[in-house]
């Protein structure tokens, strides 16, 4: 079977006043229909940039490498440039739930109007049908009085309502691929559970594939089939969710799990991973994690090793050096 | 016994809703008759349903939302500030004492200003310092307390990761030496490691700088770890309030119980034991009569169902307050 999405050897760089920033280096991943791939990782590790690359939404100062591929339905979307081609992905085959819901609704246009416009652009519907689908979706994400909320502006909604309206808008076009960037972060846990169930139902109903970006490992455990762990623009470990959470191999993954506050032991101190993330302007050579790794080998410290994932058990991939030293 | 730094009495905040020019104006009661005291030096947690009024309450405390009725009184060492009836001059003083740490470390920092200028801005806007040297001194001082590298002060924010940006936001909020901080979802955007780091920093600064926090968050594990007292909101009301350990080990209100049961487990094989809430989420435009939670409560008693109970907190054990009906029915 063909994958729904395949990313091969993606590098993303940004040109800035201070120099060229490497946001993503050599990322490869794939996703099948009906599956959820979770992406976790340090703030600034390139999760959002990865998702935005799929939609071709990175700004003008972005540089992609020539041999990178992002394949959806056997077409490399990195080769898309015309408006019509881009329309096929943005809001068509692919929908994105953005990390900043405030930024995704225009401030002076009512949210309902924006939902309807988006549906009209991508589906052959009349206004009345589009409105009824939109209101139905707002209801399904748990927004009370959906008809009235339909007529409000984004600033009039609470943070969590905005996020749910965003989810409703993204799902209403029934995309093949949903990119969900921190979709439940602004929600309380009861509504979070409800939204997760809704997304799971819709995956089944429409056989959709989902990339689910979140730093909440509990949410990952409950929704994802597979997980990729990112650090400073690279995937350092990936595999089936159960395997990664219960049998992590990379020191960064272990550090993340160790930093999780345990609700059953309130006396335990909070344990951040020591040290600071290097600026993307000075990425360490060799293993990107070596400046903070608790037990790097001599080779790691010298920065000579080459990064690259190796399969340690079926489907479980870990950065190569770590298998020998971790 | 510590003194109150903030007392909130019968506070309500409403917004107008109007479908179009012709239709009648309706009210959204975002905060509905809240009573609350916050002790000096506490790490006060505020959790609850999305849309229940947490941000609105935080903004009312900071003087950023208009108070519809009731009052919020901030007790300074020398005088009281009544936010429901505050003069422009007092408001200027008050802004130095109470500050907000923004949620979004990406949106909050202007990309065109250096880190130094971002942190210095409140000092300049409020006219706190009188010379550039003094400003620089204050900025360097707070930056090092927030563990920012002084080298970084000359850089622009895009060179920083989310965690570092959040530290910049914190430095900016603290530079005017406030005593009271509203942190609204301030660590929500951060990964767990940086989150732990920032929380440790907030704790440490609390001791160093004698701060009181109102910490609004959906992350219950975080709240359990850092807050010493927690209030739970549902549809404009506080339905339960208790010292943190007590609340997490012995929740009494049906909504609190449902909330705590819904924390997702980190074990993928563990099926969720969440108490699923049935029914539509009611709207703040048209809240249920009686107990606001009754339309979704898993076990309402008969008088709850009729909507005739009256809401109001009663103390069930020292410092543990619960909405009264719930004490009798459960
Ligand atoms: N337009 C841009 N110009 C320059 N640098 C950028 C741009 N967009 C992103 N970056 C940088 O690329 C890196 C990756 O950013 P990205 O937003 O993907 O992180 P993230 O993993 O989503 O983090 P978070 O968890 O904080 O959302 C960061 O160092 C960021 O500063
Ligand atoms: N400026 C405004 N105009 C109209 N209604 C508003 C405004 N600000 C807030 N509201 C309404 O007030 C209610 C409470 O919103 P608030 O933002 O305080 O909730 P919250 O508890 O912070 O929720 P969340 O957890 O989702 O951030 C909501 O019904 C919201 O729509
Ligand atoms: S052991 Fe070496 S390769 Fe593995 S994380 Fe540490 S420094 Fe990197
Ligand atoms: S007061 Fe009654 S209806 Fe309300 S939460 Fe308690 S038991 Fe349920
Ligand atoms: Mg992001
Ligand atoms: Mg809020």
In tens, the pLDDT along A289-306 reads 999 999 888 888 888 878
Q: Is the pLDDT of residue A326 over 60?
A: no
Least reliable range by pLDDT among A65-69, A320-324, B120-124, B240-244: A320-324
A234-242: average pLDDT? 96
Nearest to B219 by CA among B261, B164, B165, B263: B263
Q: What is d(CA B315, CA B241) in angstroms, rounded to the nearest whole number?
A: 9
In this complex, do A215 and B50 lie within 8 Å of one another by their Cβ atoms? Answer: no
Instruction: Establish whether residue A23 lines the binding site of ligand 1, counting it when its CB lies within 6 angstroms of any ligand atom.
Output: yes
| Phi, psi (rounded to 5 degrees) for A140 | -65, -30
Largest CA distance in chain B: 68
Q: Report pLDDT for A256.
A: 92
pLDDT in tens, chain B (330 residues): 679 999 999 999 999 887 777 777 888 899 999 999 999 999 999 999 988 999 999 999 999 999 999 999 999 988 999 999 999 999 999 999 999 987 666 667 788 899 999 999 999 988 889 999 999 999 999 998 887 888 889 888 877 777 788 889 989 999 988 999 999 988 887 888 888 888 998 999 898 888 999 999 999 999 999 999 999 999 999 999 999 999 999 999 999 999 999 988 888 887 667 787 876 678 888 888 889 999 889 888 888 888 777 888 999 999 999 998 888 776
Kindly state the percentage of chain A with pLDDT values over 70.
98
Residue A59 has pLDDT above 90, yes or no: no
Asked whether A60 lines ligand 1 (CB < 6 A), one says no
Q: What is the pLDDT of residue A102?
A: 64
Most A-contacting residue of B218, B222, B261, B280 (CB-CB within 10 A), to test interface: B218
Specify the 3-state DSSP secondary structure of B21: coil
CATH superfamily of B4-227: P-loop containing nucleotide triphosphate hydrolases (3.40.50.300)
CB contact under 8 A, B266 and A245: yes
Domain boundaries, chain B: 4-227, 252-330
How far is A75 from A164, CA to CA, in rounded Å? 31
- Ligand found nearest the CA of A249: 3
Answer yes or no: do A222 and B200 touch at CB < 8 A. Answer: no
Give the separation between CA B283 and CA A226, rounded to whole angstroms: 37
Ordered alpha helix ranges (H), chain A: 47-55, 83-89, 101-104, 111-122, 127-140, 146-149, 159-172, 189-206, 217-223, 241-246, 251-259, 298-302, 320-325
Backbone φ, ψ for residue B181 (5° rounding) = -125, 130
How high is the pLDDT of residue A101?
63
- Tell me if B10 sits within 8 A of B195, measured CB to CB: no
* Alpha carbon distance A177, A97 (integer Å): 11
* H or E, element range at B238: strand B237-243
Q: Is A289 in the pocket of ligand 3 (CB under 6 A)?
A: yes
Nearest to B56 by CA among B11, B95, B105, B19: B11
Angle between helix A159-172 and A127-140 (nearest 10)? 130
Q: How far is CA B225 from CA A271, B163, B257, B288, in A?
A: 12, 19, 18, 33
Distance from C-alpha of B93 to C-alpha of B81, rounded to nearest angstrom = 10
| CB B191, CB A42: distance < 8 Å | yes
pLDDT digits (tens, 9 = 90+) for A173-192: 889 999 999 888 888 898 88
Q: What is the C-alpha radius of gyration for chain A, rounded to an integer number of angstroms?
A: 20
Q: Is the Cβ atom of A279 under 6 angstroms away from ligand 1?
A: no
Mean pLDDT (whole number) for A125-151 = 90
In degrees and rounded to multiples of 5, residue A144 shows phi and psi of -75, 150
Q: Are B297 and B254 in contact (CB under 8 A)?
A: yes
pLDDT of residue B267: 84
Angle, helix B254-261 to helix A189-206, in steps of 10 degrees: 50
For chain A, list the domains and their CATH numbers. 5-93+175-239 (3.40.50.300)
Q: Do A219 and B50 touch (CB under 8 A)?
A: no
In the DSSP assignment, the letter for residue A274 is: S
ipTM of the complex: 0.84
Answer for the pair A160, A188: CB distance below 8 angstroms, yes or no.
Answer: yes
Q: Classify residue A102 by burial, with Cβ atoms within 10 Å: 0-12, 13-18, 19+.
A: middle
Chain A residue with minimum CA distance to B278: A194
Mutation test residue for ligand 4: of B275, B277, B292, B325, the one with most atoms within 8 Å of CB? B325
Q: What pLDDT, on a 0 to 100 scale, did the predictor assign at position B104?
A: 66
Contacts of A214 in chain B (CB under 8 A): none
Which one is predicted more confidently, B269 or A226? A226
CA-wise closest residue to B99 among B59, B156, B50, B138: B59
Tell me if A318 sits within 8 A of A299, measured CB to CB.
no
Residue A224 CA to residue A200 CA, distance in Å, equals 10
Predicted local distance difference test score (pLDDT) of residue B330: 61
Q: Which of residues 92-151 of B touch A (CB under 8 A)?
A: 103-104, 106-107
Q: Which residue has the tokens 């901080």?
A: B181
Any ligand 2 atom below 6 A from CB of B189: no
Q: What is the pTM of this model?
A: 0.90
Euclidean distance between CA atoms A47 and A55, whole angstroms = 13
Integer-rounded Cα Rg, in Å, for chain B is 21
Quick one: chain B helix, strand, coil %, rounded to 5? 35, 25, 40
- Run of H or E including B48: strand B43-48
**DSSP SS3 for A292:** coil
Contact partners, residue A15, CB within 8 Å, separation at least 6: A61, A63
Alpha helix (H) residue ranges in chain B: 54-61, 88-97, 115-125, 132-145, 162-174, 192-209, 220-226, 244-249, 254-261, 302-306, 324-329
Does B49 sit within 8 Å of A191, measured CB to CB? yes
What per-residue confidence (pLDDT) applies to A108?
85
Of B104, B245, B283, the CB nearest to A100: B104
What is the SS3 assignment for B195?
A: helix
Q: Is A20's pLDDT higher than 90?
A: no
Rounded-to-integer distance, Cα B87 and Cα A14, Å: 48
B-chain residues within 8 Å CB-CB of A59? none
Beta bridge partners of A229: A40, A237
How far lies B197's CA from each of A97, A131, A217, B200, in Å? 28, 45, 17, 5
- Which pLDDT score, from 0 to 100, does residue B1 have? 61
pLDDT band of residue A325 (cuts 50, 70, 90) is low
């Amino acid at each position: 079977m063909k994958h729904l999405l395949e990313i091969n050897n993606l590098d993303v760089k940004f040109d800035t006043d201070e120099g060229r920033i490497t946001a993503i280096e050599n990322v490869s991943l794939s996703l099948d229909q009906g599956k959820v791939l979770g992406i976790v990782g340090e703030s600034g590790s390139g999760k959002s940039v990865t998702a935005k690359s799929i939609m071709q939404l990175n700004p003008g100062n972005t540089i992609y490498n020539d041999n990178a591929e992002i394949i959806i339905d056997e077409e490399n979307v990195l080769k898309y440039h015309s408006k019509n081609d881009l329309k096929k992905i943005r809001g068509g085959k692919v929908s994105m739930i953005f990390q900043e819901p405030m930024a995704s609704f225009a401030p002076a246009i009512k949210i309902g109007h924006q939902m309807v416009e988006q549906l009209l652009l991508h589906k052959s519907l009349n206004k009345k049908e589009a409105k009824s689908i939109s209101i139905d979706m707002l209801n399904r994400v748990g927004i009370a009085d959906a008809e009235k909320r339909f007529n409000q502006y984004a600033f009039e909604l609470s943070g969590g309502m905005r996020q749910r309206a965003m989810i409703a808008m993204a799902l209403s076009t029934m995309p093949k691929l949903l990119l969900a960037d921190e979709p439940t972060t602004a929600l309380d846990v009861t509504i979070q559970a409800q939204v997760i169930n809704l997304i799971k139902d819709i995956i089944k109903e429409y056989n959709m594939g989902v990339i689910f970006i979140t730093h909440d490992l509990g949410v990952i455990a409950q929704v994802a089939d597979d997980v990729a762990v990112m650090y400073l623009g690279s995937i350092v470990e990936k595999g089936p969710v159960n395997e990664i959470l219960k049998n992590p191999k990379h020191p960064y993954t272990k550090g993340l799990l160790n930093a999780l506050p345990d609700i059953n032991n309130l006396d335990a101190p909070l344990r951040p991973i020591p040290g600071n993330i290097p600026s993307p302007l000075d990425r360490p050579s060799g293993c990107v994690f070596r400046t903070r790794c608790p037990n790097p080998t001599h080779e790691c410290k010298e920065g000579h090793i080459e990064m690259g994932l190796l399969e340690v058990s079926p489907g479980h991939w870990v950065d190569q050096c770590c298998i020998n030293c971790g | 016994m510590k003194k109150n730094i903030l007392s909130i009495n019968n506070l309500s905040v409403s917004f107008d809703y109007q479908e179009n020019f012709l239709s009648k104006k309706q009210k959204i009661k975002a905060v509905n008759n809240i009573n609350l005291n916050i002790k000096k030096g506490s790490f006060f947690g505020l959790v609850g349903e999305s849309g229940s009024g947490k941000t609105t309450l935080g903004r009312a405390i900071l003087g950023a939302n208009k108070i519809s009725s009731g009052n919020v009184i901030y007790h300074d060492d020398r005088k009281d500030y009544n936010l429901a009836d505050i003069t422009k001059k007092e408001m200027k003083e008050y802004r130095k004492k109470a500050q907000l740490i923004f949620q979004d470390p990406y949106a909050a920092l202007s990309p065109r200003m250096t880190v130094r200028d971002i942190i210095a801005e409140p000092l300049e806007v409020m006219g706190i310092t009188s010379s550039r040297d003094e400003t620089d001194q204050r900025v360097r001082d707070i930056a090092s307390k927030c563990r920012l590298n002084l080298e970084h002060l000359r850089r622009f924010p895009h060179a920083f990761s989310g965690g570092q940006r959040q530290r910049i936001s914190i430095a900016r909020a603290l530079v005017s030496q406030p005593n009271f901080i509203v942190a609204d979802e301030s660590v929500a955007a951060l990964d767990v490691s940086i989150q732990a780091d920032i929380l440790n920093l907030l704790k440490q600064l609390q001791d160093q700088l004698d701060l009181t926090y109102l910490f609004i968050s959906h992350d219950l594990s975080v709240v359990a770890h850092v807050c010493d007292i927690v209030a739970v909101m549902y549809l404009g009301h506080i339905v339960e309030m208790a010292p943190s350990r007590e609340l997490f080990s012995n929740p009494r209100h049906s909504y609190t119980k449902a909330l705590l049961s819904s924390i997702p487990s980190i074990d993928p094989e563990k099926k969720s034991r969440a108490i699923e809430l049935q029914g539509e989420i009611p709207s703040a435009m048209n809240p249920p009569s009686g107990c606001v939670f009754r339309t979704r409560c898993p076990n309402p008693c008969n008088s709850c169902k009729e909507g005739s109970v009256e809401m109001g907190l009663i103390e069930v054990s020292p410092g543990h307050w619960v909405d009264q009906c719930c004490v009798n029915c459960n």
